[in-house]
Structure 1
Amino acid sequence: MIPPKPPSRPDRVSLWQYGRLFRKDILSAQPARLYRAWMAEFRTPFFRSYLINQPELLRAILRERPDDFPKSDRISEGLRPLLGNSVFLTNGEAWKRQRRIIDPAFEGGRLRDVFSAMQAAAEAAALRLRHGAGDCIDIEPMASHMAADVIFRTLFSIPIEHETASRVFRLFRDYQRSQPILNLAAFVPVPRWMPRFFSRRTRQTAREIRALITELTRERMRRIEAGTAPDDLATKIMTTADPQTGQRFEAGEMVDQVAIFFLAGHETSASALAWALYLLAISPDWQDRVAEEAQNCAAETFSDMGRLRLSRDVFREALRLYPPVPMMVREARCPERFRDRDVPRGAQIVLSPWHLHRHERLWERPDAFDPDRWNTENGRQCQRSAYLPFSGGSRVCPGAGFAMIEGPLLLSTLLRDFRVEPVAGREPVPVAHLTVRARDGIWLRITPRS
């Protein structure tokens, strides 16, 4: 089965045309040759960008020399009103300090501790879905609701129905489609000295979200001081000290981190889950296999997750075909020489999971939906060298393990109870907003299984 992907632009267009295409959708703004190129160069009057697909170069950038290729400041501009100085945007010593405090909360033992909260969110999602059973629905808002519920239950021990959680979710839903994951300044000639302007709505919504997160954070701090705080992720992060300095996150810092936890843990998971459900809807044989596994292997405990192999492989394949974060941008801190090309200091290094995961010279049948590929030699090799749904190296997403429990669990729980079918004439077209979503939604018919 070959699922949809956006059309590619012609190889040669003017900078003005590229800017127009980019503003509309960064995925369809790219030429088809990027699915087979090891490296591509884009020049503007102010700087150069290099898209890198070659595994050896990716390894050097992400794993061997990450300090020489920090995150580009250009991509932070569009997300700064909401995320402040969160771990997603910082570099250098500030980032290393944040990771030393955050990483312990997402270790295997902690995931075991929050599994019951994930499970409760999955069962609540199945219960809510029964009310829409038999109808044709856009599954993207439903997936967002499910993923947000997981985040609030595991982070703050409150369900999505909690007043503050519900308000954050509604505001974020308004915010997410107005902001691309990559700012236009990452690719086109916008001088660094030029001020960046955000719409009044964007700034106001970001302020409201951060105010609500501040309420949750301050309340949790009070409960920690009183000794009545639940043992969830927020408590773990807020009580963990930097092993090098002994310092903890201050209130403002914690608001920044909660904002990115919500974005990364809700928006990206929702994107992957919605596409996974669509892929199963157009692949009924695989859907039946996942449903049978779910009915025979109930995930009642954390250790049971190891038995959901088919759900895991389907979710992994959805992350390959529709990586939630389609492109990442680093900056060359010093002059480089890549593939006999001079890469000047300050150049933008674009890492594109969207193109890498469909690269014609790396993957067998790269555009096909084939969860069995992960059990082949090609799949295992590509997983090591050409698979970046959570980035890689030291900057790999700290919630990667969390996502690989949450996604298969939600998928298995839903397929246990429901059958999903595509809606004729409503084939989704992937576009990039904050994450890879469908231009007009992902419409499915949901019916209960007997």
Structure 2
Amino acid sequence: MTPPKPPARPDKVSLWRYVRLFRRDILSAQPAKLYQAKMAEFRTPFFRSYLINQPDLIDVVLRQRPSDFPKSGRISEGLRPLLGNSVFLTNGAQWRRQRRIIDPAFEGGRLRDTFPAMVAAGQAAVARLGQGGAVEIEAETSHAAADVIFRTLFSIPIDHALATQVFDQFRAYQREQPILNLAAFLPLPRWFPRGHSRRTRATARQIRALITQLTTTRADQIARGSAPDDLATKIMTTPDPETGQTFDAAEMVDQVAIFFLAGHETSASALAWALYLLATHPEAQARVAAEAAALGPDPSFSDLSRLRFTRDVFREALRLYPPVPMMVREASRPERFRNRDVPTGAQIVLSPWHLHRHTDIWDAPDDFDPDRYGTENGKACLRTAYIPFSAGPRVCTGAGFAMVEGPLLLAMITGAFDISPDGPPPVPVAHLTVRARDGIQLRLTPRG
């Protein structure tokens, strides 16, 4: 079956109607023509935006001249209460300093070190699922992905009291906060209220207070020489090679907040959609289960090389349902794209959702086909039209981490359970990430 895709809006709607649709769901707020467009312009009384679907122009923005296209402040307006000045929102020298400190924690050797914690989280997820039955799988993958983050970042499982509180509060924040708020559409002065609901502000404060407890405890452990050798310790003790300074306490809270958002929310989204795709494609599921059976009950890092098809399934889930469906940059100087003048301050929208389903770029773009990556079209598209983690200098620091975690958990769950759909097809919507409007209902039956 063709995987579900949200309906497109009519080509022409009023600005007010568009804002309302956008706040409710980014995906269904867009017209169908964007799946064929190389570039589209959107004008409002306050700004212009240009959606870019042409691979060579995307390459200019993300890889060739990224400093000319910094992250747009309009996106940060909606996320600032939780993420502060994290690496996800900053630009320029501040961003470069943050990456110099963070990147060493996610180098290849460190992934090997975090692998046992990922396996433990996967085993715990399989145990929680027990005898299977009808499950809402997004809730389960959220739990599993959060467990991975806490085990690899702070060496504590999800059932640790403080970890559970962070997880519960984050779920409340995700339900409350749209990816864009009023300030994303209107040029508001700094003193003007940003339109965050009281509950959103309160939940963000609670999450940050809980993260502060975790980081303060870890700082004390580092000072006493008793800190575990995990990602938090690595990041908190890594000095900037240019200044010799480490993150202070407030900066570390910002970074942990984005690690949780990027490492938990996005992984949970991709894993849930991957399991749904396997549920609706039994032949692919059987191939993943066969690879999982070869792993054994306690896989090692070197066993990942056996999960070739599983990795392509996860890659295909990221293509069809990229967790972050749109990224926004801002032109810092006048540009000319496709014979159009792009003024300074224009918003440059890069949409993995539309790029990954572009009818002129991908073969059968709406189909689920993990084997496509062995074809000439698939190989070419991976190089030029596949950006679930962004690309260039601002590529997601945790991309390698995600491509270990995702296939591993996918194999462990599929190896333990036969998976089938249970209920109507899910409807994709975009809030903080691409999720299902009413969840993803699956039925799990233990294998063997």
Q: Deviations over 1:154-206 (max 9, x none)?
A: 000000000000000000011102122344544x3444554312111111111
On the 8 A contact 2:176/2:199 being kept in 1, the answer is no
Within 5 Å, give how 1:199-348 maps onto structure 2. 199-298=197-296, 300-348=299-347
Match of 2:61 in 1: 61
Q: Give the SS at the match of 1:79.
A: helix
Match of 2:435 in 1: 437
Please state if 1:354 is matched with 2:353. Answer: yes
Match of 1:395 in 2: 394
Match of 1:108 in 2: 108
Match of 1:142 in 2: 140
TM-score under structure 2 length normalisation: 0.98
Please state if 1:85 is matched with 2:103. Answer: no
C-alpha deviation, 1:24, in angstroms: 1.8
Within 5 Å, give how 1:156-171 maps onto structure 2. 156-171=154-169
C-alpha deviation, 1:76, in angstroms: 0.3
Q: Deviations over 1:96-121 (max 9, x none)?
A: 00000000000000000110001100
After the TM superposition, which segments of 4 or more aligned residues of structure 1 sit over 6 Å from their partners?
none
Q: Deviations over 1:317-345 (max 9, x none)?
A: 00000000000100000000000000000
Match of 1:5 in 2: 5
Q: Distance in 2 between matches of 1:431 and 1:59?
A: 27
Q: Distance in 2 between matches of 1:368 and 1:211?
A: 44
- Counterpart amino acid of residue 336 in structure 1: E
Q: Distance in 1 between matches of 2:309 and 2:106?
A: 24
Q: Distance in 2 between matches of 1:208 and 1:184?
A: 23
Deviates more, 1:188-197 or 1:219-228: 188-197
Q: Deviations over 1:50-90 (max 9, x none)?
A: 00010000000000100000000010011101000000000
- Counterpart amino acid of residue 118 in structure 2: M
Match of 1:52 in 2: 52
Q: Distance in 2 between matches of 1:301 and 1:88?
A: 32
Q: Distance in 1 between matches of 2:243 and 2:142?
A: 37
Q: Give the SS at the match of 2:78.
A: coil
Residue identity (%): 72
- Counterpart amino acid of residue 385 in structure 1: T
Q: Give the SS at the match of 1:177.
A: helix
Q: Distance in 1 between matches of 2:181 and 2:331?
A: 18
On the 8 A contact 1:22/1:184 being kept in 2, the answer is no
On the 8 A contact 2:3/2:368 being kept in 1, the answer is yes
On the 8 A contact 2:74/2:183 being kept in 1, the answer is yes
Match of 1:94 in 2: 94
Q: Distance in 1 between matches of 2:61 and 2:86?
A: 22
Q: Distance in 2 between matches of 1:431 and 1:242?
A: 39
On the 8 A contact 1:140/1:441 being kept in 2, the answer is yes
- Counterpart amino acid of residue 203 in structure 1: R
C-alpha deviation, 1:20, in angstroms: 2.0
Please state if 1:407 is matched with 2:381. Answer: no
Q: Deviations over 1:2-58 (max 9, x none)?
A: 100100011111212212211221100000000010000000001100000100000
Please state if 1:365 is matched with 2:364. Answer: yes
On the 8 A contact 2:23/2:180 being kept in 1, the answer is no
Q: Distance in 1 between matches of 2:290 and 2:181?
A: 43
In structure 2, the CA distance between the partners of 1:126 and 1:231, relative to structure 1 (3 Å rule), is: same
- Counterpart amino acid of residue 228 in structure 1: S
- Segments of 5+ residues of structure 2 without an aligned counterpart are none
Q: Give the SS at the match of 1:176.
A: helix
CA RMSD of aligned residues (A): 1.1
Q: Distance in 2 between matches of 1:23 and 1:162?
A: 35
On the 8 A contact 1:181/1:325 being kept in 2, the answer is no
TM-score under structure 1 length normalisation: 0.98
On the 8 A contact 1:181/1:434 being kept in 2, the answer is yes
Q: Distance in 2 between matches of 1:55 and 1:184?
A: 30
- Counterpart amino acid of residue 309 in structure 1: R
Q: Distance in 2 between matches of 1:64 and 1:199?
A: 39
- Counterpart amino acid of residue 174 in structure 1: A
On the 8 A contact 2:6/2:428 being kept in 1, the answer is yes
- Segments of 5+ residues of structure 1 without an aligned counterpart are none
Please state if 1:74 is matched with 2:74. Answer: yes
Counting matched residue pairs gives 446
Q: Give the SS at the match of 1:258.
A: helix
Match of 1:125 in 2: 125
